[in-house]
């Protein structure tokens, strides 16, 4: 084959690949895993699912059984529900609003499924960040029923938990399955519609705990695409030990997915330096370059080239040998130059293990986000509840608020500037977080959605 032919063949292959990538960006859930003739697992396009996504629900799609992916009773109906247009309308409430004509923030009362459908037109592809804190499915919350419902009987048949004479094999597991099913049927259409609202560089954060984190991750992998998974953050929600029989749970999770991982290599931003990080910068040797902190001068040996293995001679003549399995970060020549320029720290007495000085001023230093949000930095459930009590004369008017600081951190990671949405908004904490962030120069706007629910009668809001 000539060069040109090779190139042409290469180009046409790339175009096919490019089309697949584009299609996958539009319909991540239409891609699945199958086995090829050689028994190898390959990614393949699920045409029936693609048709179903485009509104053509075929018999084949309805009747098929075995395939890789996550299924549960009612999933097919979720797709129907997504495509069913809403018959609701949004009614403005001028008398309950503040600055109705000028504010760009919205608080919408209603079922979020209906509202998400209504927002599809006006907000399609325009939301920078979505945060949701849905019911965790602890068994205590009411899961709002959508248009369809599955009876326990139907469920038992689906799950194969009823024999031909109609006897239950195991009531417990049946109940438990039904329990997850109901929650999944509630979440799936909402997440699906939520994804449509996100900008290409948008992200979604979802609070959850151990009850559903696994299922949530699986449906998010399907809806957003596995490659758009950003992180499973841990939030330290309490600092005191609960009096529990087995284990006292100290954390919740916050799952984060991006709309389109290809859009940027950094779907969430770095964070500004906080006080704790700043406190580690000092200047014990009056370095003219200003505040610095020391970092290790070695790396794993596997990362090094030959020139990074040597005995390092300190200014006082002391010889520092490498620990086994390590190499120096700099070559000998660069290290000696750094020592000459006083950019290597050997401790106060000059005998310490060499460390590299990292200067605060070196660039606009920012912090790479870590997977744990500690209570001392972002607050706990208790902190959030106490804030609500302060607003409502000591009454716990809302039981499950999230701390505003936690939400401010999520905004810093994702939303400056842009529209943010919370469609399980509860006490409206994301609205307060946006307000506080905007005081420091952001120009974020919010859309909050919440089922109308009354706070206790005796509760009067402080003026």
Q: Is 78 in the site for ligand SAM (CB under 6 A)?
A: no
Write the CB contacts of 392 (distance below 8 Å, at least 6 apart in sequence): 455, 459, 460, 461, 462
Q: Phi/psi of residue 68, each to 5°? A: -75, 145
In the complex, minimum distance from the CB of residue 449 to ligand SAM, in angstroms, rounded to a whole number:
6
From the list 349, 234, 237, 231, the residue with the least C-alpha distance to 284 is 349
Q: Does 46 bind ligand SAM (CB under 6 A)?
A: no
Burial class of residue 62 (count of CB atoms within 10 Å of its CB; 0-12, 13-18, 19+): exposed
Contact criterion met (CB below 8 Å) for 40 and 114: no
Burial 287-309 (b: 16+ CB within 10 A, else e): beeeebbbeebbeeeeebeeebe
Quick one: which of 50, 313, 451, 455 contacts ligand SAM (CB under 6 A)? 451
Which segment (51-59, 78-86, 174-182, 393-401) binds ligand SAM by CB under 6 A? Answer: 393-401
Distance in Å, CB of 46 to ligand SAM, minimum: 29
Query: What would you report as the CA-atom Rg of the chain, rounded to the nearest whole angstrom?
Result: 28
Stretch that binds ligand SAM, among 51-59, 242-250, 322-330, 449-457 (CB under 6 A): 449-457
User: Please, what is the minimum distance in Å from the beta carbon of residue 444 to ligand SAM?
Assistant: 17
Comparison of 332 and 432: residue with beta carbon closer to ligand SAM? 432
**Residue number, 451 or 459, with CB nearest to ligand SAM:** 451
- Which position among 402, 431, 434, 445 is part of the footprint of ligand SAM (CB under 6 A)? 402
Nearer to ligand SAM, 260 or 450 (CB): 450
**Smallest gap, in angstroms, from Cβ of residue 107 to ligand SAM?**
12
Residue in 229, 226, 220, 231 with CA at minimum distance from that of residue 187: 220
Size of the site for ligand SAM (CB under 6 A): 18
Q: What phi and psi values does residue 275 have, to the nearest 5 degrees? A: -60, -40
| Nearest residue (CB) to ligand SAM, 254 versus 344 | 254
Interface pattern 408-427 for ligand SAM (x via CB under 6 A): ----------------xxxx
**Binding status of residue 386 toward ligand SAM by CB under 6 A:** no
Shortest CB 424 distance to ligand SAM, Å: 4
d(CA 29, CA 50): 8
Q: In the complex with ligand SAM, which residue's Cβ is closer, 253 or 398?
A: 398
379 binds ligand SAM, rule: CB under 6 A: no
Question: If 0-12 CB within 10 Å is exposed, 13-18 middle and 19+ buried, where does residue 194 land?
Answer: buried
Closer to ligand SAM by CB, 73 or 401: give it.
Answer: 401
Backbone φ and ψ of 141, nearest 5°:
-90, 160
Between 308 and 450, CB nearer to ligand SAM: 450
107-136 binders of ligand SAM (CB under 6 A): 111-112, 133, 135
Q: State the Cα–Cα distance between residues 221 and 32, nearest whole angstrom.
A: 11
Minimum CB–partner distance for residue 461 and ligand SAM (Å):
15
Of the candidates 124, 144, 148, 169, which one interacts with ligand SAM according to CB under 6 A? 144
Q: How far is the CB of 110 from ligand SAM (least distance, A)?
A: 7
Q: 111 or 222: whose CB is closer to ligand SAM?
A: 111
C-beta closer to ligand SAM: residue 30 or 384: 384
Residue 12 φ/ψ, nearest 5 degrees = -65, -35
- Do you find a cis peptide bond into 176, omega within 30 degrees of 0? no
Cβ(408)–Cβ(419) below 8 Å: no
Measured from each CB, the residue nearest to ligand SAM is 426
The answer to whether residue 44 forms part of the interface with ligand SAM (CB under 6 A) is: no
Identify the DSSP state of 362.
G
Nearest CA to 264 among 131, 372, 128? 128
- Helix 404-414 crosses helix 429-439 at what angle (to 10 degrees)? 60
Nearer Cβ to ligand SAM (410/449): 449
Q: Which residues bind ligand SAM (CB under 6 A)?
A: 111-112, 133, 135, 144, 398, 400-402, 424-427, 429, 449-451, 453
């Amino acid at each position: 084959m000539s060069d040109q032919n090779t190139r042409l063949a290469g180009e046409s292959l790339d175009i096919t690949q490019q089309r697949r990538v584009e299609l996958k960006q539009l319909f991540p859930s239409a891609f699945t895993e199958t086995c090829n003739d050689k028994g190898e697992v390959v990614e393949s396009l699920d045409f029936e699912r693609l048709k179903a996504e485009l509104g053509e629900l075929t018999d084949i799609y309805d009747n098929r059984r075995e395939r890789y992916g996550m299924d549960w009773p009612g999933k097919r109906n979720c797709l129907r529900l997504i495509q069913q247009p809403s018959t609701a309308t949004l009614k403005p409430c001028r008398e309950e609003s503040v600055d109705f004509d000028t504010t760009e923030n919205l608080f919408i009362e209603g079922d979020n499924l209906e509202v998400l459908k209504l927002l599809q037109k006006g907000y399609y592809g325009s939301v920078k960040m979505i945060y949701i804190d849905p019911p965790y499915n602890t068994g205590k919350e009411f899961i709002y029923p959508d248009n369809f419902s599955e009876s326990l009987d139907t469920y038992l048949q689906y799950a194969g938990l009823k024999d031909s004479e109609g006897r239950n094999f195991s009531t417990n597991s049946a109940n438990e399955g039904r329990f997850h099913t109901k929650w999944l049927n509630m979440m799936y259409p909402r997440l699906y519609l939520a994804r449509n609202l996100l900008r290409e560089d948008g992200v979604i954060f979802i609070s959850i705990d151990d009850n559903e984190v696994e299922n949530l991750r699986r449906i998010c992998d399907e809806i957003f695409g596995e490659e758009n998974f950003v992180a499973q953050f841990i939030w330290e929600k309490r600092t005191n030990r609960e009096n529990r029989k087995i284990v006292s749970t100290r954390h919740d999770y916050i799952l984060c997915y991006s709309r389109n991982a290809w859009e940027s290599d950094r779907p969430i931003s770095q964070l500004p330096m906080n006080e704790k990080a700043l406190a580690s910068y000092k200047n014990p040797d009056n370095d003219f370059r200003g505040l610095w902190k020391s970092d290790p001068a070695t790396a794993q040996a596997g990362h090094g080239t030959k020139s990074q293995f040597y005995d390092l001679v300190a200014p006082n003549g002391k010889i520092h040998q490498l620990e086994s399995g390590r190499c120096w970060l700099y070559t000998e020549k660069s290290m000696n130059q750094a020592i000459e320029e006083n950019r290597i720290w050997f401790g106060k007495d000059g005998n310490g293990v060499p460390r590299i000085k990292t200067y605060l001023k070196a660039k606009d230093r920012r912090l790479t986000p870590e997977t744990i949000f500690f209570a001392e930095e972002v607050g706990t459930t208790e902190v959030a509840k106490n804030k609500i009590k302060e607003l409502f004369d000591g009454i716990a008017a809302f039981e499950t608020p999230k701390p505003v600081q936690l939400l401010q951190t999520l905004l810093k990671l994702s939303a400056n500037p842009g529209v943010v949405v919370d469609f399980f908004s509860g006490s409206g904490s994301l609205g307060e977080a946006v307000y506080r962030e905007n005081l420091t120069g952001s120009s974020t706007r919010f859309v909050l959605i919440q089922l109308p629910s009354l706070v206790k009668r005796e509760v009067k809001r402080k003026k």
